[in-house]
Amino acid sequence: MRNSSNMHGLGCVVSALLLCFAIFGCATGSTRNATSIVDYLYPNTRDPVVTPSIPVLTLPTRVGIAFVPGGARGQEGGVFRGAQVFRGAQGVSLTEAKRIAVMQEVASHFKKYPFVKDIELIPSAYLAPRGGFANLDQIRTMYGLDVIALVSFDQTQFTDEGALSIAYWTIIGAYVIQAQKNDTHTMLDAVVYDIPSRKMLFRAPGTSHIKGSATLVNLSEQLRKDSETGFNEATKQMITNLDQQLVAFRDRVKERPAEYTVVRSEGYRGGGALDGWMLALLVALGVGFLWMRLRG
């Protein structure tokens, strides 16, 4: 009878220990979500290399923005690496709503430029994984685009336990002690392509690094928040870089007319310009005024 009781007690302790290990033991690891523009545009390495031709940029131009789809090499959706996968870990992917929000932010910033006629936000469903330029040609036909900005992202989140995680053994500690240390590295990369010529016009990255901490119970929620903050910060930096790259691109187009052909639509850009007649009239006025002043 007593032996049976001892056995029961030992079983309870072992079960409790196993439960604790199950709960607290798996609290470190990493998750990565990424899409690759190379995988999207050049999916088949056996294909000959796409040779770009000289782009003909018709101004004002219609621009599309789209997020590159994932779907290659286990990307986008959570690739867990490291010794252990943290509890409740889920690939914090960029939702379609968030993608649209990012694209709208970029679009609202670039609509102000007079050489941009219109900006179309392309939903992810219209881009086939590993679709390549054939897919871009379809989108070009559907939306009437000339230029497209393809946005890819790469976000990796690391979670480690701090020394305070020993408090998890008290159970309550898992709810109140912020012993989970999180690192979120995010990169957004916008690459602007002229679709007909297959020529990359320019690119601009945006990065961010978020450090945070969370309780064990709150870990997933905190990771989602860090993920969103990371994307927001990277988007802002990407827009700033896009601005700079756009200015550099405009200078490049002016400096290297052989590499880029710019065609302006009829009446696209007007200017108030003076001619020789007006300059002659003003010189006459100025000279006449001085002459009369000198004569008193």
Nearest by Cα to 76 from 90, 93, 60: 93
**At closest approach, how far in Å is the CB of 241 from other proteins?**
14
Query: Binding residue for other proteins (CB under 8 A) from 117, 132, 156, 187?
Result: 117
Of 13, 267, 294, 296, the one binding other proteins by CB under 8 A: 267
Pick the closest to residue 108 from 269, 235, 264, 267 (CA basis).
235
- Between residue 237 and residue 256, which ones bind other proteins under the rule CB under 8 A? 243, 247, 250
**Smaller CB separation from other proteins, 98 or 250:** 250
Point out which span in 1-9, 156-164, 228-236, 281-289 binds other proteins (CB under 8 A). 281-289
The rounded distance, in Å, linking the Cα atoms of 35 and 71 is 8
Stretch that binds other proteins, among 62-70, 154-162, 202-210, 266-274 (CB under 8 A): 266-274
Size of the site for other proteins (CB under 8 A): 34
Q: What is residue 170's DSSP assignment?
A: G
257 is a site residue for other proteins (CB under 8 A): no
CB environment 201-218: b (16+ within 10 A), e (fewer): bbbbbbbbebebbbbbeb
Distance (Å, rounded) from C-alpha 133 to C-alpha 129?
12
Please report, as residue ranges, which positions from 48 to 67 form the binding site for other proteins (by CB under 8 A): 60
Q: Which of 113, 126, 133, 249 binds other proteins (CB under 8 A)?
A: 113
Exactly one of 112, 134, 163, 258 binds other proteins (CB under 8 A); that residue is 112
Spatial separation of the C-alpha atoms in residues 62 and 267, rounded to whole Å: 17
Choices 16-24, 178-186, 202-210, 267-275 (CB under 8 A): range interacting with other proteins:
267-275
- For position 268 contacting other proteins by CB under 8 A, the verdict is yes
How far is residue 101's CA from residue 27's CA, in Å, rounded to a whole number?
32
How many Å apart are CA 296 and CA 292, to the nearest integer? 6
The nearest distance, CB 285 to other proteins, in angstroms, is 6
Rama region for 76: left / alpha / beta (φ>0; ψ in -120 to 50; rest): left
> Is there a contact between 63 and 119 (Cβ–Cβ < 8 Å)?
yes
Interface contacts to other proteins, rule CB under 8 A: 60, 111-115, 117, 243, 247, 250, 264, 266-279, 281-286, 288-289, 292
